[in-house]
Structure 1
């Protein structure tokens, strides 16, 4: 079943409230999928690379990581630990070396970019958000997901969002019927899914289209042609977010827009605590129609 939320802020004054608003929205969707949850936050872009990593044994895995990684890269590194995750700040041009080092140490890479941070774990949205202090995070936009697993195991790696490109991630409600075929096609192009989750296949598909020069709208439009099944996708990028539903649109979805923000929710009640919601334009996204907002 799953629950999706998304929030794109137009009003810069609301940036400090992004994490709090997203958390409230996601907690409201808990009964649509209580086995795991995750949120992607787009904050201020930084010089150099930002990489979010995860470990089931963070006290051991993150001990001495800053010094060890700096020695390997030959450049300064900062490590900000948040429960089972850590956000690394690295110099540009060091991603390949950092990935090789971190993977060899058994660390999982959740996502990379210049503004995106991803936090996801098994558990209820309220617990996952509290573990990472999501309420205290600010930014320009973000997406979140609470999951009811139907296509793969209840694990951290199976939780959403999935990130397969710099500053790009995806959450999904639904099921794809041709994901195994598409997995082979994408792997041949160098976009190799790391889990059995069909959602990661969709994320890889969008990354491949963006790498080929498509814009976000074109990449989302391509999902309607090449991905079979029933789905609602919400995608985050460095500059904004986008929404698309399959031609049948059997999964619930609703959007709200004011002068201050654009919001997405699997149900209207996700918007209940948003400021100015009484005056918002509310609508249900049309089937097979791409919506996206960028700065």
Structure 2
């Protein structure tokens, strides 16, 4: 079943509230996905530096890991939230740090990287996951989140959404893809790699691949309507905004709300209840096969 939330802020004055508003929306989707949850939050980027979110850097590993990173980039900084670590480093140090992460084995992985994205996910009730990573205290420009009810793969942190397979890009998904294994093999031949058997990771990789070929996000999402077989609602996060797409049948619930201050997405209207000014928002159901896309000015 699963639940999706998204919040894109037009009004910069709301940025300090982004985490708190997203946390409340995520909690509201608990009944749609009680086994695991995750979110991506965007903001706070610095020119020439990359933020890498890593999962699995435990307290035991931290001293050795930080020492190793600093030997590669003495200007790297570290920010921990539970077992997730955000390393901020110069862009030219990213490849070396990725190689270092690989030396620690499968328990330590890069879950996202980019100018502004931070990505956190874990097993447990959405409210507990949000509290574990202190989502309510975060600020930013936009965020997307997901609550999962696993139906086709195990309940694991790796299998939780969002999935990030490209710089500042992530995807959450409600639905099921029937041709993801075939598509996965094609993408592997094109040089992509996957951590899980989750069909959502394949969808994220597919979009990353098309974007790497020079397509715009709206073009890549439009192409997915013919290349991805199944039923789905996608919400995609990018450095500058987010996008929404529903399959031609659109059997998965979806609703949007827009005011002068924000655009919000949710699987159910009740997730909007705590948003400021929701009583005067334009509320609508996104149409099937139509790409909805909002971005901040570059």
When normalised by structure 2's length, the TM-score is 0.96
| 1:233-248 correspondence to structure 2 within 5 Å | 233-248=234-249
- 5 Å-filtered alignment, 1:108-147, equals 108-147=109-148
The residue correspondences of 1:60-75 to structure 2 (distance < 5 A) are 60-71=60-71, 73-75=72-74
Aligned to 1:268: 269
Which stretches in structure 2 are left out of the alignment for 5+ residues? none
Gaps of 5+ in 1: none
For 1:129-278, list aligned pairs within 5 A: 129-278=130-279
1:51 and 2:52 are equivalent in the alignment: yes
SS at match of 2:286: coil
Cα distance, 1:289 vs. partner? 0.9
CA distance, structure 2, for counterparts of residue 157 and residue 233 of structure 1:
19
The CA deviation at 1:61 is 2.2
Structure 2 partner of 1:39: 39
Q: Tell me which residue corresponds to 1:93.
A: 92
Q: CA RMSD in A?
A: 1.0
Q: Deviations over 1:136-179 (max 9, x none)?
A: 10000000000001121110100000000010000000000000
Count of residue pairs brought into register by the alignment: 293
Offset at 1:188? 1.3
User: Could you tell me how far apart the structure 2 residues matched to 1:264 and 1:215 are?
Assistant: 22
Contact 2:3/2:146 (8 A) holds in 1: yes
3-state SS of 1:34 partner: coil
Alpha-carbon contact 2:73-2:90 (below 8 Å) kept: no
Answer whether contact 2:73 2:89 (CA < 8 A) is retained. no
Aligned: 1:82 with 2:81: yes
Return the alpha-carbon distance in structure 2 between the equivalents of residues 70 and 76 of structure 1.
7
| 2:63 alignment partner, SS class | coil
Determine helix, strand or coil for the equivalent of 1:251. coil
Equivalents in 2 of 1:42, 1:104: separation in Å? 28
Q: How does 1:13-24 map to 2 (within 5 A)?
A: 13-24=13-24
In the alignment, the residues of structure 1 paired with residue 54 and residue 36 of structure 2 have an alpha-carbon distance, to the nearest angstrom, of 17
Kept in 2, the 8 Å contact 1:75–1:91? The answer is no
Give, in angstroms, the shift of residue 45 of structure 1.
Answer: 1.5
Structure 1 residue ranges (4+ consecutive) displaced by more than 3 angstroms after TM superposition: none
* Alpha-carbon contact 1:233-1:244 (below 8 Å) kept: yes
Tell me the SS of whatever aligns to 1:63.
helix
SS at match of 1:64: helix
Say if 2:291 is the partner of 1:290. yes
Alignment partner, residue 10 of structure 1: 10
Deviation at 1:64, TM superposition (A): 3.1
Describe the superposition over 1:7-38 as per-residue Cα deviations: whole angstroms up to 9, x where unpaired. Answer: 00000000000000000001000000100000
Q: Deviations over 1:251-276 (max 9, x none)?
A: 00000000000000000001000000
